[in-house]
Amino acid sequence: MATIMPAASQAAVEEISLSSSKHLSTFYNNGTTNTYDNGGVGAVFGGGYTRLYEKFILPAYDPSITLTSGLLWTPVTSRSMEVYLTDGNWVSFNYYTAPKTIGGLVAKTATNINQNKPIDLTEYLNKAYQNGTPVGFMMKSAIEGQNWTDATIFPSGAQKLSLTFTSAVPEPETYAMFLAGLGLMGFILRRKQKS
């Protein structure tokens, strides 16, 4: 679970290091002071934005490994939500606005009360992974100035963030070349033994 800090705090949040053998699954209990900073941010009025204070430090990039992730949110009322990648500055908490979202993330709308609504963050995270940048998330209402990721609109534990590393399945050509190489080595060894 992430360390909590007020917007004005200079302290660093908890950094979670991931490895190819580690799976991380985190529930965020909404409306509690140990999960979110619900203070106003910038020129936003009211509750301001709600941020998930958690930063993931990814291992050295390996093109054969894919980072698979999903964010599952369950609103109590029909609302839309936007997910942004933060800039990694945990003092000012700047965020990338809609035109700069990574992986084509757009606002998601749950049409039914208590409907589970998944958001696929795979491409979103892998671009940051390839660039070697820290990964942080911010969730906000699609309507400016509304802090609606809280206990009044979301049930406790409404967000589940899950990250898993998976190795890419080799292409058939890779297996064919590998087997051909083994066959060639066996042929050479047999010829050496005969001579």
* All structural domains of the chain with their residue ranges: 15-169
Contact 42, 87 (CB under 8 A): no
Nearest to 31 by CA among 158, 156, 150, 153: 150
Q: Is the pLDDT of residue 191 over 70?
A: yes
Q: Is the pLDDT of residue 111 over 60?
A: no
Looking at every residue in the chain, the average pLDDT score rounds to 48
pLDDT for the residue 119: 53
Q: Is the pLDDT of residue 2 over 50?
A: no
**How far is residue 126's CA from residue 192's CA, in Å, rounded to a whole number?**
47
In this prediction, residues 84-95 reach a mean pLDDT of 45
- The pTM is what? 0.34
Nearest to 119 by CA among 153, 147, 150, 80: 80
Backbone φ and ψ for 129, nearest 5 degrees, come out as -60, -45
Q: Both tokens of residue 46? A: 């009211």
Q: pLDDT tens across 28-82, in order?
A: 433 333 333 333 333 333 333 333 334 444 555 566 665 555 444 444 445 555 5
Higher pLDDT, 118 or 48: 118
Q: pLDDT tens across 146-176, in order?
A: 433 332 333 333 344 445 555 555 555 666 6
**How far is residue 105's CA from residue 96's CA, in Å, rounded to a whole number?**
12
Contact 158, 81 (CB under 8 A): no
**Given strand 159-167, what is the order of strands in its sheet?**
23-28, 159-167, 65-73, 117-120
**How far is residue 57's CA from residue 66's CA, in Å, rounded to a whole number?**
15
pLDDT for the residue 84: 52
Most confident of the following: 37-51, 83-97, 132-146: 132-146
Backbone φ and ψ for 194, nearest 5 degrees, come out as -70, -35
Give the total residue count for the chain. Answer: 195
* Gyration radius of the chain's alpha carbons: 22
